[in-house]
Every structure is written in structure tokens, then in C-alpha cells.
């Protein structure tokens, strides 16, 4: 990848693929934890095959291995809460909540990159928050889904910022492999110990954990539709876009990536409306909120083009200690 423009095109393609994750998450009949576990097993195998075909090393001999495994813990939390929000509410609500990751990124990125907070990022982030408040104020029947979805957005911002640093120090395929393999291991442990704790958990968390004790059945024992959806989710929507999503961070800031990811709910909502119609339909004001989010995306792109014209480059993480 030689230019920021190429990175942006690749990022938009990646986000388009991510737009289907919420759709498959609702179509698959498994519970949240079983879904995430099966997804990560497939994605890990897919990355191993891709690494072999691309002749990329997956050697564990890297000083950052511990960081990859800990980042996997954050990713596991993100996926559990994201698919949990879908099961509690709708795919549209869960996807829309991811837009709050923009303001979380604007606040967290300066800490990791040791730079000043950019006023325009905070302003755009606050506009996104305002747009989401508009959506949330109208979609009052989905409060648990909204709460869980916003937690998912915070975790998403966190691990993407970490990857924005890691991508400058290792191969994106190896980073992706160990992070997702870590998620699979974490999910396996959770499912084994879950029967001992699930009885004492209530509320929205109880919905996420219900009837999910023990490891799920192997893929070939699932309904044919679930097999197809899992393969698409694990390979087309996880292995491939996870690598490209990290790769583009060599050219783009974490904030730009997260702001562009705000297109994901737009894709998800459009697809969900086509498939489920009235079940996924939002209030008119909610669509106005989504339009505000898109406006922020356009403004961010315009700002960066203006800065590029003035030969102002984005900060290099390696130059900050």
C-alpha cells in the first residue's frame, strides 16, 4: 500500500464486509458466546491457511506476543457485547452504537500516541454522541441493547488504538492470528467455567449467558444455514477484514479508521431493512442521527485532504517514545 488514498479504499471495503457481521450474528441460531467461539475458531484456521499461502511467518518468537494475547481479551469483550446487543435488541441498534467508538478514540488515542487532543476530533466525536442520543431517545425499547452496544464500542476503540501502534512493529497477519487465537482460547475457557456461574447472573447479562454452558457442537453438526453463515462470518467478515483493518493503520490514524467504521451501521441497517423489514425499522429521527454521523465522516475526509495539501502528515507512533 503506497498511498493514503489506497488505504482509504481498502478501509471502506473492509468496513463494508464488517457491515455483514451484525446480519450473520442475527441469522445464526447459536447463542452469543457459542457464536463468538465458533467464529474465532474458523477465523484462526483461516488466518493460518492465509499465512501459509502468503508465506508469512506465524512464529511465536516475538516480544509482543503477550500484548497480542492481552489484546485478544479486549477483542473477546467487544465481540461478546456486540453480538449480545444484537440478541437483546436488533442488528440496527447494535451497529449504530458502534459509532460512539469515535469519541472514545478521540479521547484515548492521544494517551497512546502521546500527543495533544485534537479539538476537531473531539467536536466530531461529540456530534456523533449527539446523533446517537437522538437515536437512543427515540428507540426507548432497546435500552439494554444500547448500553451493551456502547460498551462494545468502547472496547472496539481500545483494541483498534493498540493495533495502530502494533502494526508499525510486526506483520498484520501474525498480529491478527495471535489476537484472534487468543479470543478463541478465552472463549473456550469461559464456556467451560460458565456452568458454575451462570445461575447467579441476572438482568441483561443473564440474557447473554443463558443456555450456553459448555463448548458448542462442531460446525458440521450445526444446521446447514448456520454452517454457511459461520463460514462467511469467520472468513469473509473476520479473517480477511481483520488483517486489512490493521494494515491500513500504517497509513491512517486510529481516529480516521474509527470514524470510517461509522459506516458499518449504515450498511448493516440497510441490509437488515432489506431482510427483516418492519422488525428492523427505526424512527425517522433515528435516520437523521445516522445522517449526522455520515456528515462527520465527510468532514473528517475533507479535513485530512486539506491538511495533506498543506503537507501536514499524521504522527508516526514510533517517534513518540
Distances 136 to 17, 45, 254, 281 between C-alpha atoms, Å: 25, 38, 26, 14
Q: Which three cell numbers mark 111?
A: 494517551
pLDDT attached to residue 230: 92
Q: What is the 3-state secondary structure (H, E, C) of 34-74?
A: HHHHHHHHHHHHHHHHHHHHCCCCCCCCCCCHHHHHHHHHH
Is 320 domain-assigned? no
How many structural domains are present in the chain? 1
- Tens digit of pLDDT for each residue in 7-33? 888 888 888 888 898 889 888 888 888
Q: Which domain holds residue 9?
A: 4-315
Is 196 domain-assigned? yes
pLDDT attached to residue 311: 46
| Spatial separation of the C-alpha atoms in residues 166 and 281, rounded to whole Å | 39
- Tens digit of pLDDT for each residue in 124-144? 777 877 777 776 666 566 778
Instruction: Write b or e for each residue in 15-54: b if 16 or more Cβ atoms lie within 10 A of its Cβ, otherwise e.
Output: bebbbbbbbbbbbbebbbbbbbbbbbbbbbbbbeebbeee
Split at pLDDT 50, 70, 90, the class of 197 is low
Is 63 domain-assigned? yes
Split at pLDDT 50, 70, 90, the class of 301 is low
Split at pLDDT 50, 70, 90, the class of 317 is very low
| Spatial separation of the C-alpha atoms in residues 114 and 57, rounded to whole Å | 31
Is 185 domain-assigned? yes
Distances 216 to 29, 64, 210, 270 between C-alpha atoms, Å: 12, 31, 13, 31
Helix (H, G, I), strand (E, B) or coil at 182: helix
pLDDT at residue 236 is higher than 50: yes
Mean pLDDT of 85-106: 79
Choice between 179 and 123, residue whose per-residue pLDDT is larger: 179
Is 321 domain-assigned? no
Is 287 domain-assigned? yes
Is 253 domain-assigned? yes
Do 254 and 164 touch, CB atoms closer than 8 A?
yes
Residue found by looking up cell 506465524 in the block: 58
pLDDT above 90 as % of the chain:
15
pLDDT attached to residue 5: 80
Nearest CA to 40 out of 175, 189, 184 is that of 184
pLDDT at residue 77 is higher than 90: yes
Q: What are phi and psi of 2, to 5 degrees?
A: -110, -10
Q: Which letter does DSSP use for residue 59 in this model?
A: -
| Spatial separation of the C-alpha atoms in residues 19 and 39, rounded to whole Å | 16
Choice between 90 and 141, residue whose per-residue pLDDT is larger: 90
Q: Which three cell numbers mark 179?
A: 489476537
Amino acid at each position: 500500500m503506497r498511498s493514503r488514498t489506497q488505504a482509504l479504499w481498502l478501509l471502506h471495503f473492509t468496513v463494508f464486509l464488517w457491515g455483514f457481521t451484525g446480519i450473520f450474528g442475527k441469522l445464526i441460531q447459536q447463542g452469543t458466546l457459542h457464536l463468538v467461539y465458533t467464529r474465532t475458531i474458523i477465523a484462526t484456521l483461516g488466518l493460518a491457511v492465509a499465512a501459509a499461502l502468503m508465506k508469512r511467518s506465524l512464529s511465536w518468537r516475538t516480544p509482543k506476543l503477550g500484548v497480542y494475547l492481552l489484546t485478544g481479551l479486549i477483542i473477546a469483550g467487544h465481540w461478546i457485547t456486540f453480538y449480545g446487543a444484537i440478541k437483546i435488541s436488533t442488528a440496527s441498534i447494535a451497529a449504530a452504537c458502534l459509532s460512539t467508538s469515535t469519541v472514545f478514540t478521540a479521547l484515548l488515542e492521544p494517551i497512546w500516541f502521546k500527543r495533544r487532543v485534537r479539538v476537531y476530533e473531539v467536536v466530531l466525536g461529540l456530534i456523533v454522541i449527539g446523533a446517537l442520543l437522538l437515536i437512543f431517545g427515540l428507540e426507548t425499547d432497546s435500552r439494554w441493547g444500547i448500553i451493551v452496544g456502547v460498551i462494545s464500542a468502547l472496547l472496539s476503540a481500545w483494541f483498534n488504538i493498540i493495533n495502530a501502534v502494533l502494526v508499525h512493529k510486526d506483520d498484520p497477519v501474525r498480529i491478527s492470528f495471535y489476537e484472534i487465537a487468543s479470543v478463541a482460547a478465552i472463549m473456550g475457557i469461559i464456556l467451560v467455567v460458565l456452568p458454575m456461574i451462570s445461575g447467579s447472573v441476572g438482568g441483561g447479562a443473564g440474557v447473554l449467558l443463558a443456555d450456553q454452558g459448555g463448548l458448542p457442537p462442531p460446525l458440521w453438526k450445526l444446521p446447514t444455514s448456520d454452517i454457511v453463515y459461520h463460514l462467511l462470518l469467520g472468513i469473509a467478515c473476520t479473517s480477511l477484514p481483520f488483517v486489512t483493518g490493521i494494515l491500513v493503520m500504517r497509513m491512517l490514524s486510529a481516529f480516521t479508521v474509527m470514524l470510517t467504521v461509522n459506516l458499518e451501521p449504515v450498511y448493516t441497517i440497510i441490509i437488515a431493512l432489506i431482510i427483516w423489514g418492519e422488525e428492523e425499522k427505526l424512527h425517522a429521527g433515528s435516520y437523521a442521527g445516522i445522517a449526522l454521523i455520515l456528515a462527520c465522516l465527510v468532514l473528517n475526509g475533507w479535513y485530512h485532504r486539506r491538511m495533506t495539501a498543506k503537507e501536514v502528515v499524521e504522527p508516526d507512533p514510533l517517534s513518540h517514545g
